[in-house]
Structure 1
Amino acid sequence: MNGELLLVILIIIGLIGRSPIITTAACVLLIIKLISLDRFLPTIERRGLELGLLFLTMGVLVPFATERISTKDIITVFTSWPGIIALTGGAIATYMNGKGLELLKIDPQLIVGLVIGSIIGIVFMRGIPVGPLMAAGITAFLLKLFTFIFDKFR
């Protein structure tokens, strides 16, 4: 199946699933292919994630720039249960991202499943794609869990 057809299918899936992110991304990539700017696709693949994460991080940091988050709010993070749990969650997430990166280095073909799984999550579960590393980290955890469980029953 050629790339253009797959992108059209993704556009349709995005429209049916009411996912403007998938629809827009697939439309932009289809336009890039149709106007023969394919030479930019490797750059988009290599740098697109970084650019997306940059804008995501900027969006999250806007409350600091607009001073909606005060020094008192920052101190609360270190002195309240929700804040401490948020710190723990952030630490665990970055650890899992590292494990995801290790998994993708060992088994790079898993990216196909991660991408398709992300599309399913976006379209049918109304999820937000924030990066393949977290998906790979969760996959690494699930692989260890399933290996642990099924090795016990051998």
Structure 2
Amino acid sequence: MASVDVTSLLLLGLAALGIVSHNAPVSIAVLLLLLMRLAHLDKWFPVLEQHGLNLGILVLTMGIMAPLASGKMGTDALVRAFTTPASLLAIVVGVFVSYIAGKGVPLMAQNPVVVTGILIGTILGVALFRGVPTGPLIAAGILAVLLGLGKKLG
């Protein structure tokens, strides 16, 4: 009797949750990882584990800065960012969120079980509460601060 591949079943379950919750990035990522497992490309998992988060942050940062680079965000928008109360508050919130996310990076790197929990929580938040599938890194940062790990990890 063939043994059940529990890891592949877990990946399928996460993909199903991603599909049900309309979380395309999670669904695609999980299905690509499952495809890598099925194609016996397991040797690439350590590379993904070591560099995937940094590569993802790099691509995300490029996406955020693209309007500036393309000229869609001109100097007038940059000046306004420092002149209205709402935009000044946005800057403060951006600094705070970036700080919190920075606390999450080491937590996610050192505790893969937490990553799974955050991923499941994010998917459930999208599926059950019409949330938006952003913020696993922020969630990890908040968790690190709540657990009192902020000073230890970062």
TM-score tier, shorter chain, comes to: 0.7 to 0.9
In 1, the alpha carbon distance for the partners of 2:16 and 2:115 equals 22
| 1:127 aligned residue (132, 145, 149) | 132
Q: Which residue is equivalent to 2:72?
A: 68
| 2:34 aligned residue (25, 30, 39) | 30
Structure 1 letter corresponding to 2:141? G
Show structure 1 runs of 4+ deviating over 6 A: none
- Asked if 1:47 corresponds to 2:51, the answer is yes
In 1, the alpha carbon distance for the partners of 2:119 and 2:24 equals 17
In 2, the alpha carbon distance for the partners of 1:123 and 1:23 equals 13
Q: Which residue is equivalent to 1:96?
A: 100
Q: Secondary structure at the match of 1:79?
A: coil
List per-residue Cα deviations over 1:31-86 (Å, max 9, x = no partner): 10001000101211221222222221111111112211111111111111121011
In 2, the alpha carbon distance for the partners of 1:98 and 1:27 equals 28
Structure 2 letter corresponding to 1:77? A
Q: Which residue is equivalent to 1:2?
A: 6
Structure 2 letter corresponding to 1:113? G
Q: Which residue is equivalent to 1:21?
A: 25
Q: Which residue is equivalent to 1:152?
A: none
Structure 2 gap segments, 5+ residues each: 149-154
How many residues in Structure 1 have an aligned counterpart in Structure 2?
141
Given the two structures, how large is their TM-score scaled by the length of structure 1?
0.77
Structure 1 gap segments, 5+ residues each: 145-154
Contact 1:53 1:130 in 2 (8 A): no
Identity fraction in percent:
33
Given the two structures, how large is their TM-score scaled by the length of structure 2?
0.77
**TM-superposed deviation, 1:120:** 2.2
